[in-house]
């Protein structure tokens, strides 16, 4: 489908679109400022689940992307909403930095929730989660991204560990962040816009573009971050537009 | 298909059939001795890849199952044969105990080989393997078992980590141990018997029974080890016979 002629909102992935690790993607600070000056409503959608919201916002501000906590919709936030709305008491597999955000593990857990424990993923942690899922506890994952771009190359993202547990338990995880439809729907609700008037920009073909398109949101792929040329000939997912980077998309929109 | 009326050989899985951890499955020592006395050619087929062959044989002997190294066909042995026959110089992800068997990592690896690193699986190890496979190196795994039975319950087997790397790289691993056809063919060749005259007994529906049947070997499931009642109503894999344990199968065969 074509991009909306007069988009009323832009949903923006962070890592791989605005920055890679501690490096700004050139032109993205200025592009973001220009979009804001033009009055386009913006919301940042991130599947980053290693970092608490406050730290993430501080990091983005330090890089020069002025933003506040309310400007972000995060996979951990969506997960907490889901857990609270169902009255669950999870066993959490999360990065130590995220522990203060999710609280302690329940003594008698009734769900297993996986975040990106990153370097803290180990056999004992995964086996404990495996045994709880095996006992019949529901399995929720904050995200299932395959890879993410670090300054020294692509790295294994948390989806690998979701796949590991799914394989051995035979249970499919429920995903709270991108590409889950409720996550994108929450973004539209927050901004009060319709899918047909909205654009999502990201570097992850499946989770950003595919996820947005499933709800009727136009998906724009950027050739930065984890982008690979193979993304342009994927058999199932075709971006509504492809730009070299976020700055080029902003030029086009303004 | 029915079991061969006069079987000429029996292929036997170890963990979950003869023992679970350090516990003998009741009756299995005596059953094995009776099968040997009856003159039936036997070969043990194991996907255990945490332990060197010598240690494994010593452990089995300590449990009372008299056997020698030549009585076993192991996934690490099959992997070494495969690596040598292709002249590969792998980056090995293995348990430290297996390092002496596989040798050091190549400085310029041309393949990634995954074994069961068990408690030594961690993020850094998996991410290093991920990056090599991502660069185009072939991905070989000793096995892809989902679970194994420990004395205190089911645990995550190495297949989880194969699935993790497959998910994030998009590359399917080549399996060297069960259920790979060349592994079962090597067993038949070793004993000089035809598939139609041979029985495989195991507790893993997919890797023991399914793998054997794919070559025309009769597959007998035992209700010990990782066996689950759901195995008896699997949509695709139907054992040729099911016995409560190895001792019952031996009674039937003698």
Per-residue model confidence (pLDDT) at position B241: 97
B111-114 β-sheet, strand order: B90-93, B111-114, B139-141, B174-175
CB contact under 8 A, B126 and A166: no
DSSP tag of B206 = I
CA of B119 to nearest chain A CA: how many angstroms apart? 5
pLDDT tens sequence across A76-117: 999 999 999 999 999 999 999 999 999 999 999 999 999 999
Domain CATH for A113: 3.40.50.1000
Give the CA dihedral B137, A210, A188, A64, nearest 10 degrees: 30
Question: How far apart are alpha carbons B29 and B157 in whole angstroms?
Answer: 26
Contacts of A119 in chain B (CB under 8 A): 122-124
* Domain shared by B226 and B240, yes or no: yes
Average pLDDT rounded to a whole number, residues B1-22: 93
Strand partners, B200: B11, B219
CB contact under 8 A, B130 and A159: no
Helices A181-191/A75-85 angle, 10° precision: 100
For B:84-113, CB contacts with A below 8 A are none
B158 and B49 Cβ atoms separated by less than 8 Å = yes
A35 and A199 Cβ atoms separated by less than 8 Å = no
* Domain shared by A154 and A197, yes or no: no
Q: Which helix (H) or strand (E) holds B226?
A: none
The answer, for A118 touching chain B at a CB cutoff of 8 Å, is: yes
In a domain, B107, yes or no: yes
CB contact under 8 A, B146 and A167: yes
* Domain shared by A170 and A183, yes or no: no
Contacts of B50 in chain A (CB under 8 A): none
Number of A–B residue contacts, CB under 8 Å: 91
B75 and B178 Cβ atoms separated by less than 8 Å = yes
In a domain, B16, yes or no: yes
Rg over CA atoms, chain A: 18
Question: How far apart are alpha carbons A115 and A101 in whole angstroms?
Answer: 12
The answer, for A254 touching chain B at a CB cutoff of 8 Å, is: no
B149 and B20 Cβ atoms separated by less than 8 Å = yes
How far is residue B32 from each of residues A61, B11, B39, B111, B219, measured CA to CA in Å?
A: 69, 12, 11, 39, 18
**How many independent structural domains does chain A possess?**
2
Of B123, B147, B155, the CB nearest to A118: B123
Written as one string, the DSSP assignment of B139-187 is: EEES----EEEETTEEEE-THHHHHHHHHHH--PPEE-STT-HHHHHHH
Q: Which helix (H) or strand (E) holds B52?
A: none
Domain boundary among B128, B151, B175: B175
Contacts of A123 in chain B (CB under 8 A): 117-122, 156
The answer, for B136 touching chain A at a CB cutoff of 8 Å, is: no
Question: How far apart are alpha carbons A43 and A71 in whole angstroms?
Answer: 5
* Domain shared by B128 and B188, yes or no: no
- B41 CB contacts (<8 Å, ≥6 apart)? B8, B9, B10, B191, B193
pLDDT band with cut points at 50, 70 and 90 for residue A26: very high
Helices B246-253/B28-37 angle, 10° precision: 20
**pLDDT averaged over chain B?**
96
- Tokens 């240690």, located at residue: B55
* Domain shared by B170 and B183, yes or no: no
- A246 CB contacts (<8 Å, ≥6 apart)? A12, A17, A18, A25, A27, A28, A31, A32, A201, A222, A224
How far is residue B86 from each of residues A47, A143, A240, B82, B110, measured CA to CA in Å?
A: 41, 39, 45, 6, 11
Q: Decide if pLDDT at B151 tops 90.
A: no
Per-residue model confidence (pLDDT) at position A151: 87
Read off the tokens for A83. Answer: 């857990």
Of A121, A123, A147, the CB nearest to B119: A123
In a domain, B75, yes or no: no
- φ, ψ of residue B103 to 5 degrees: the values are 85, 175
Per-residue model confidence (pLDDT) at position B1: 67
In a domain, A52, yes or no: no
In a domain, B101, yes or no: yes
* Domain shared by A184 and A171, yes or no: no
* Domain shared by B153 and B169, yes or no: yes
Q: Decide if pLDDT at A1 tops 70.
A: no
Domain limits at B191? 9-47+178-253
* Domain shared by B165 and B198, yes or no: no
Strand partners, A43: A11
Question: How far apart are alpha carbons A45 and A181 in whole angstroms?
Answer: 13
Written as one string, the DSSP assignment of B61-112 is: HHHT----GGGEEEHHHHHHHHHHHTT--EEEE--GGGHHHH-PPPSS-SEE
Domain boundary among B175, B193, B226: B175
In a domain, B123, yes or no: yes
Mutate one of B126, B164, B231 to test the A interface: name it (highest A CB count within 10 A): B164
Question: How far apart are alpha carbons B237 and A96 in whole angstroms?
Answer: 42
CB contact under 8 A, A131 and B123: no
Per-residue model confidence (pLDDT) at position B2: 76
For B:218-247, CB contacts with A below 8 A are none
Of B118, B134, B147, the CB nearest to A168: B147
Average pLDDT rounded to a whole number, residues B76-102: 96
CB contact under 8 A, B156 and A120: no
pLDDT tens sequence across B159-205: 999 999 999 999 999 999 999 999 999 999 999 999 999 999 999 99
Q: Decide if pLDDT at B92 tops 80.
A: yes
In a domain, B59, yes or no: no
In a domain, A62, yes or no: no
* Domain shared by B155 and B194, yes or no: no
* Domain shared by B89 and B169, yes or no: yes
pLDDT tens sequence across A179-194: 999 999 999 999 999 9
Question: How far apart are alpha carbons A174 and A182 in whole angstroms?
Answer: 11
Read off the tokens for B231. Answer: 């195995």
- φ, ψ of residue A70 to 5 degrees: the values are -70, -15
* Domain shared by B166 and B205, yes or no: no
Read off the tokens for B79. Answer: 């992997």
Domain boundary among A127, A155, A175: A175
* Domain shared by A149 and A201, yes or no: no
pLDDT tens sequence across B23-44: 999 999 999 999 999 999 999 9
**pLDDT averaged over chain A?**
96
């Amino acid at each position: 489908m074509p991009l909306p002629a007069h988009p009323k909102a832009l949903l923006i992935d962070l890592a791989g679109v605005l920055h890679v690790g501690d490096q700004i993607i050139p032109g993205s600070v200025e592009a973001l400022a220009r979009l804001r000056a033009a009055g386009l409503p913006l919301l940042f959608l991130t599947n980053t689940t290693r970092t608490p919201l406050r730290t993430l916002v501080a990091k983005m501000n330090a890089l020069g992307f002025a933003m506040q906590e309310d400007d972000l919709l995060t996979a951990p936030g969506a997960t907490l909403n889901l857990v609270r709305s169902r009255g669950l008491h999870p066993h959490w597999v999360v990065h130590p930095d995220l522990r203060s955000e999710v609280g302690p593990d329940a003594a008698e857990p009734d769900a297993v929730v996986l975040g990106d424990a990153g370097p803290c993923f180990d056999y004992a942690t995964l086996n404990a989660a495996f045994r709880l899922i095996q006992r019949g506890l529901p399995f929720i994952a904050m995200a299932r991204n395959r890879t993410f771009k670090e300054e020294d190359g692509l790295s294994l993202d948390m989806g690998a560990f979701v796949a590991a547990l799914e394989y051995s338990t035979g249970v499919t995880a429920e995903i709270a962040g991108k590409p889950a439809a409720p996550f994108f729907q929450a973004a539209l609700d927050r901004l009060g816009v319709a899918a047909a008037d909205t654009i999502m920009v990201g570097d992850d073909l499946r989770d950003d573009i595919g996820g947005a398109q499933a709800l009727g949101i136009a998906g724009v792929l950027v050739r930065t971050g984890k982008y690979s040329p193979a993304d342009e000939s994927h058999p199932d997912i075709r971006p509504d537009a492809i730009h070299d980077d976020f700055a080029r998309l902003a030029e086009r929109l303004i």
